[in-house]
Structure 1
């Protein structure tokens, strides 16, 4: 059997988070994601326009903190935009784990954490930045 048509990118991520409302604020107000819908008091869907982030409410840090996720990234279209995000997140008091740095493949990124401790990587990557997905 032949493999089907390739996937068109990884565009959905579901996180169980604590503290829930602080994470909703982080992704909506600070990271600029649009709220697509609140399914209920414990589940919300957000988007940058070509993806889908699901946040569900964990009822304790222990419940949300035991996972194998290392990090996930938000793609930016230029190195200048990456620097602007770094300065903005710094001004917002978001915990920054490192400073913008170059990768051997031409990418540039830095890491921060959301209120639940998930590591978020804003990244410029020449192979995918600037692509507008429909």
Structure 2
């Protein structure tokens, strides 16, 4: 189905964040995955290394985004390009929650600081 409704989205919660997955293999995509990310105000992100590029479009709120040790603030309208294999962390700043639209390719795996990996269902 070319139009995916919010009712068809799969919702996953991890590390205090909500991932509302619209496009993924289970919804018919062969190459791309995309989801809405909602993170409560004041949440410190979990550093990780994504195995594939990710693009985050900030829809609302603000976050300190750190990629390979370089930190910048991203606010509504900003786009963050995360290279595959980069160390990446998002810390929500300001008074409100962060809302972003995230896109990557099918097969993303995230390596956590302890060496373990997460294969997120919203990207596989």
* TM-score, length basis structure 2: 0.28
Q: Which has the higher Rg, Structure 1 or Structure 2?
A: 1
Greater helix percent: which structure?
1
